[in-house]
């Protein structure tokens, strides 16, 4: 099994298998997987000068399914499970909003609303797949703060003091053929 790194607080980055329909009226092929996010605020005592001390949508796990639509009905249950699984301690590790960030499932929701619905195709009758097997982060090119920047500045900078490992998610695939990504299989 390939090591694809880990998210903040330690969940492994893993492959999301294709989401198939019993009867496929369409196949939606993605770019790369998304993540499950939460709104996190670091413990005040650990926030360094010049840091925000919070991330409105911190990627902490793989999305539940490929092209997940962000259905927030089970966010509370998912959050409780995630806290238990990573050993998150309220207060010691910061605080988490009980509300799902709007980024959860936004890509999947847009695909269903903008592309499938006008064609009269339901998400249940479509097969969804990703082109790349795992979640990747990107960092800023100086214009706006990206997920990788937020993780580095707010989480990684205090992770050891939280008793947690730093995030090791891979960055976006470099565009040149001599990259370590160039020999990866097309499917996993």
Report pLDDT digits (tens) over 42-59: 999 998 888 899 999 999
11 or 34: which leads in pLDDT: 11
97 or 68: which leads in pLDDT: 97
Q: What H or E segment, with its residue span, contains residue 60?
A: strand 54-62
Residue 177 pLDDT greater than 70, yes or no: no
Strand pairing class (26-29; 126-129) = parallel
pLDDT number for residue 175 = 54
What is the Cβ-side half-sphere exposure of residue 115, based on CA atoms within 13 angstroms? 14
Which of 98, 57, 62 is closest to 77 using CA atoms? 98
Q: Which range (73-77, 87-91, 181-185) has the least confidence?
A: 181-185
pLDDT number for residue 185 = 42
Which of 5, 50, 7 is closest to 156 using CA atoms? 7
Residue 166: which pLDDT band, with cuts at 50, 70 and 90?
very high
Residue 174: which pLDDT band, with cuts at 50, 70 and 90?
low
pLDDT number for residue 71 = 74
Q: Is the CB of residue 145 less than 8 Å from the CB of residue 69?
A: no
CB atoms within 10 A of CB 45: 7
pLDDT number for residue 173 = 62
Q: Where are the alpha helices (DSSP H) in 14-167?
A: 75-86, 106-111, 147-150, 159-162
- 125/28 Cα distance (integer angstroms): 11
Residue 165 pLDDT greater than 60, yes or no: yes
Q: How far is CA 125 from the centre of its chain?
A: 25
Beta bridge partners of residue 184, listed in sequence order: none
Residue 186: which pLDDT band, with cuts at 50, 70 and 90?
very low
176 or 111: which leads in pLDDT: 111
Q: Is the CB of residue 89 less than 8 Å from the CB of residue 40?
A: no
- 156/83 Cα distance (integer angstroms): 18
């Amino acid at each position: 099994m390939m090591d694809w790194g880990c998210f903040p607080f330690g969940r492994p980055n893993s492959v999301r298998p294709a989401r198939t329909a019993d009867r496929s009226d369409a196949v939606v092929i993605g770019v790369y997987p998304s993540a499950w996010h939460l709104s996190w605020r670091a413990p005040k005592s650990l926030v360094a000068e010049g840091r925000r001390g919070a991330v409105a949508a911190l990627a902490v796990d793989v999305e539940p399914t490929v092209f997940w639509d962000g259905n927030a009905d089970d966010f509370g249950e998912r959050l409780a499970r995630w806290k238990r699984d990573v050993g998150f301690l309220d207060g010691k590790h910061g605080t988490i909003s009980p509300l799902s960030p709007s980024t959860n499932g936004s890509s999947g929701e847009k695909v269903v609303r903008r592309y499938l619905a006008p064609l009269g195709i339901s998400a249940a009758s479509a097969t969804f797949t990703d082109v790349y097997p795992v979640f990747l982060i990107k960092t800023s090119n100086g214009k706006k703060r990206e997920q990788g920047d937020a993780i580095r500045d707010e989480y990684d900078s205090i992770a050891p003091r939280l008793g947690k490992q730093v995030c090791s998610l891979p960055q976006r695939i470099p565009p040149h053929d001599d990259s370590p990504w160039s020999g990866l299989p097309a499917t996993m």
